[in-house]
């Protein structure tokens, strides 16, 4: 999915906020997603946002969408060791599929 880009790695200190960023090129998607993949497991939907929204908050998670810049971000407040995982940004496609980014590996420092 080269039209959905995200950095490969992020390291944060436990208790700090993590911000994972994503950019995309096609603005026609209805939904944009964040998936989480823990070691040895499949992907699980973490949260999603409708393309007509700017922000969505769900407990420790905040998703921000800047449609003009085609930029999506995921903020995890008070990052814990259990948040260590790979986070995938994705957008819905009119062509019967979801386009995934390459994933950002989040590691937590004590």
Does the protein bind other proteins through residue 31 (CB under 8 A)? Answer: yes
**23 near other proteins, rule: CB under 8 A:** no
- Residue 88 interacting with other proteins (CB under 8 A): yes
Return the bridge partners of 45, or none.
Answer: 35
Taking contact as CB under 8 A, which single stretch among the options 13-21, 67-75, 76-84, 94-102 is the one that binds other proteins?
A: 94-102
Alpha carbon 39 to its chain's center: 17
Residue keyed to tokens 């062509």: 95
Q: Is 20 in the site for other proteins (CB under 8 A)?
A: no
Inter-residue contact 48 to 34 (CB < 8 Å): yes
Choose one: 10-18, 39-47, 55-63, 64-72; the region binding other proteins (CB under 8 A): 39-47
DSSP classification of residue 82: G
Of positions 10, 12, 48, 84, contacts other proteins by CB under 8 A: 48
Decide: is 84 part of the binding site for other proteins (CB under 8 A). no
CB 55 within 8 A of CB 47: no
Residue 60 · residue 77 · CB < 8 Å: yes
Kindly state whether residue 52 participates in binding other proteins, applying the rule CB under 8 A.
Answer: no
Nearest Cα residue to 102 out of 43, 48, 28: 43
Which chain residues interact with other proteins by CB under 8 A? 1, 8, 29-31, 33, 40-45, 48, 88, 92-98, 100-103
């Amino acid at each position: 999915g080269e039209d959905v880009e995200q950095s490969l790695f992020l390291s944060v200190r436990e208790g700090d906020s993590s911000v994972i960023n994503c950019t995309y090129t096609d603005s026609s998607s209805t939904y944009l997603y964040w998936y989480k993949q823990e070691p040895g497991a499949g992907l699980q939907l973490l949260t999603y946002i409708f393309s007509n929204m700017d922000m969505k908050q769900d407990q420790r998670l905040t998703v921000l969408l800047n449609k003009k810049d085609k930029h999506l971000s995921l903020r995890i407040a008070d990052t814990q060791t259990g948040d260590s995982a790979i986070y995938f940004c994705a957008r819905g496609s009119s062509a019967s599929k979801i386009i995934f980014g390459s994933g950002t590996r989040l590691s937590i420092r004590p």
